[in-house]
Structures are given as C-alpha cells and as structure tokens.
Amino acid sequence: MAELLDGKLLSTKIKEDLKLKAAEFEAKYCRKITLAVILVGENPASCVYVKNKIKAAEFIGIKSLSFSLPENTEEKDVEDLINNLARDKSVDGILVQLPLPKHLDEEKILALIPPEKDVDGFTAENVGNATLFKDCVNSCTPAGIMYMLKSINVPLSGKHAVIIGRSNIVGKPIALMLLKENCTVTVCHSKTVDLKSITKQADILVVAMGKAKFVTSDMVKDGAIVIDVGINRTETGLCGDVDFETVKDKASYITPVPGGVGPMTIAMLMYNAYTCALRRENV
C-alpha cells in the first residue's frame, strides 16, 4: 500500500513559512509583496484557480491586484494592462491565467511579462535559464512536484523518471528539473509506441496528459513513485490521470487527486512571488 504524498499538508507548511517571510519583508522594505493576477473570460476552472490563488495570497500577506476582463477583450487592451503593470514599481509579480480566449495570442502576451516579474516561469528567458540549469523562476507545478519528491528523502540521482506528457507547463520543465537531479529521463507523449513497456521501467512516474484514470496498475513498476498531475471532472467527481484505487497497491508513494499536486502549485506560485520581490530588492 503506497504512502500518500499529501499536497495539502506540505503546501500548508510552505504557506505558513511564507507568511512569516512576507511579514519580515514588509517590515524591512516598508511595503507588501504585490502580485497582479489577470483573468480574461469566465472559464469555470480558471475562475476557481484564480480565487484559490487570491485566497492563498491573502493568507500569506501578499497583496493581490485582481484584473478580470471580459471574454471579448481586445488583445491591445490586455497588452496595455501588462505593460502598465510591468512599469509599476510596486508590482513584484504578474500572472496571466491560462488558457486565454482563442482570439488572443498567448505567446505574444506572455512575452510582455518581464522575466523578473514572471511568477509562472513561462517567459522565454526563464525557460531558457531552466534549460541551462541556471538560476531562474521555475514553473510552479514542476517546482511543486520536486518539493514533494525531496520531502520523502528518496535519492533521485540515477533513478529512471518517466513523464507522460510534453506540455510547456508540466512535461518539459519537470523533465529538465529531474535531469538536473541526475535522473535518467524519458518523456512519452501521444505518438509514443508501446507506452506500457516504458512506464513499467519507471522508478518515478509523472503523469500529466489529461485522460481520466488512464494509467492502470499493469503500467506501473512495483514500488514506483507515482505523481498524478491530472485533474478530470467526471460524473462521479474529480479524478486524476492515474487509476488511484488499483495503482496505490503497487506504488511506494502516490499523490491523491484532489489534494496532491494542485495545492503545491499554488504554494509554489506564492513562493515565486516572494522570490521575485526579493530579487527586485537586489537580495
């Protein structure tokens, strides 16, 4: 029976620590850490995520500036808003909630965020520095996964890590982070041939593909660490990309859905806001 990697518990510890750090920051620099959050449209999932991010910021003592724009907002208006926030010396971090409405150029809009205010770690400069294993703002979900892995004190060096999914938000950056820890990394995707034969080799299996309960016990190596990034809404409620009930008896550690990677993503976003604020104070 696998041990649970409890994202709620870990994220609470991170946020409590950040609450103290944010108070120290405010006392030293006579200002609050400030995070600007931009939401375009009314995607239900995005609205929930933004609400949770603002709630976490309030708990920690980070000032949040919330900008909710209509679905049909013109690209120039979004660009103008980001440019204004980029110039605003009181703003430490800028977050554009994804996905954006289809008529907006996501890549172009994200490129307007200064790297030093890029709390999501999505700008080309931060991604490039991550590729080179240089200091950067790391993407939140992969950073949360790494925090979870390190919390169980299992040596990562030499482990075979298999990732299902090659997105810019999870798959690619977590591959880089695991490489940095000297794992042997295999990235699988929709064109991978004989997926099961590869996943069964994984000491660490990270699943981020968006298909409910896709990974079953016959795809998992005995004693593997299984990280389920997926969150799918089904008739019976929320579930991950991993068939939790069957895989939990085969893995050594496993993340639940909900309550696993999700809370860690928000905690690491808050950590990024804090580190961006420190860097802007030349710390």
The per-residue pLDDT for range 113-145, each reduced to its tens digit, is 999 999 999 999 999 999 999 999 999 999 999
**Residues 56-63: what's their mean pLDDT?**
98
Active-site option among 32, 63, 97, 117? 97
Q: How far apart are CA 14 and CA 263, in angstroms?
A: 10
In sequence order, the 6+-apart residues with CB closer than 8 A to the CB of 36 are 64, 65, 67, 85, 88, 91, 93, 94, 95
On average, the pLDDT of the chain sits at 96
**Residues 36-49: what's their mean pLDDT?**
93
Which sign does the torsion angle of CA 257, 262, 267, 268 carry? positive
What pTM, to 2 d.p., does this model score? 0.95
**Residues 67-74: what's their mean pLDDT?**
97
Q: How far apart are CA 175 and CA 206, in angstroms?
A: 9
Active-site option among 53, 63, 172, 250? 53
- Tell me the pLDDT tens digit for each residue of 144-203: 999 999 999 999 999 999 999 999 999 999 999 999 999 999 999 999 999 999 999 999
Q: What's the pLDDT at 1? A: 84
Q: Is the model's pLDDT at 236 over the cut of 90?
A: no
**Residues 76-105: what's their mean pLDDT?**
97
Annotation marks residue 53 as catalytic: yes
CB atoms under 10 Å from CB of 41, counted, come to 18
Active-site option among 92, 118, 120, 228? 120
Q: What's the pLDDT at 109? A: 97
Q: Is the model's pLDDT at 235 over the cut of 90?
A: no
Q: What's the pLDDT at 283? A: 78
Q: What's the pLDDT at 45? A: 86
Annotation marks residue 97 as catalytic: yes
| Least confident span in 137-141, 212-216, 232-236 | 232-236
